[in-house]
Amino acid sequence: MYNQRGFSANHPTTAAVTSLHSIRNNSFGNSNHFFAPKKIPHAEKIISLGNVRELIPLTKMPKEPGYFLYFKLNDHPQLVKEGARLVAEYIHQSGLKNPYFVTIEASTLALAHVLRDTYQIEGMTIYKNTQLNDVDPVSIEYGTVTSKDKKTLYLGRNRLHELQNREIILLDSIVTKGSTLKAVYELLIKAGVRAENIAEAIVLFNEGAPKSMIEVDQNTRLKVHTFSSLPLFQEEEALTAPPLLKKC
C-alpha cells in the first residue's frame, strides 16, 4: 500500500507529471468547462507545502469578494510531488487498513497519478462529464467559488465495486468553503455508498478560515485534514502587499 521513496530531477514521476501537464493543456486548455481566473498584475505570494516553497500569482475569483490565492496544482510539479508525499505519509500513519481515495478532475490529476504510481495507493477520479463506459450514472450539480457556472459530477454505478470494503478518503487540492467535498460526498451516497465507509477528507491547502470539519449533510460532519493554509486578500491588500511573504 505504501512505499516511501524519494524523488530526484530525473525521477520517472517528474516525467509523468510533466506529461500530465501536456495532456491537460492539450485536452482542456480551450474547454468551456474551465474558468480562467483573471491574474492580478504584479501580485504574487510565496506559499509553503511541507518542505516546498513556491511563488504563486494571485488571481481574482468571479463570485466571492476579495482576491484568492488560486492556482492550478498540475502546473507545479514540486508541489504535486510534495503533496503526494504528505498525503501518503498521513494515510500510512492514520492506520487505515484498506484506504481508497476519491477525487475529481482536473486539479488533482497529477497528484492522483503520483499517489498511485509512486506510493501504490489506489483511488478513482470522478469526472465532470459522462464516460463512455459509464453504466446507469448518477450525478450531482454543485457550485464553487472558482466558477460562475454550476458544475456536474458523474459516477457510473458500474464503478461502485471499486469502493466495496474500502475506507474512502475524499481528496482535493484546496478547500475554501467545502462545496466540492460536499458534492463528492453527496454523489457517493446517492450512488449507494454507505456513509460510514467515507472516512475523512484530505486536502493540501486550507483557504481562509481554518477547517477541521465540514457539514456534508444535515446530520453529518466530515473530518478534514489539511497540510498548509492560504490567506484571502482583499483588492487593496493584493495590490499593495509586498510580493514575497516569509509566512503564509
Can you give the pLDDT at residue 65?
54
Can you give the pLDDT at residue 177?
87
Does the N-terminal peptide bond of residue 9 adopt cis geometry, omega within 30 degrees of 0?
no
| First and final C-alpha spacing in the chain | 33
Can you give the pLDDT at residue 66?
56
Can you give the pLDDT at residue 56?
82
CATH topology of domain 12-32+77-233: Rossmann fold (3.40.50)
Can you give the pLDDT at residue 171?
98
CB 105 within 8 A of CB 126: yes
CB atoms under 10 Å from CB of 163, counted, come to 20
Share of the chain above pLDDT 90, in %: 56
Residues of the chain with pLDDT under 70: 1-43, 60-70, 232-248
Can you give the pLDDT at residue 109?
95
Can you give the pLDDT at residue 63?
60
The C-alpha cell at 35 is 474558468
Q: DSSP letter string over 4-19?
A: -----TT-HHHHHHHH
pLDDT tens-digit readout, 75-99: 999 999 999 999 999 999 999 999 9
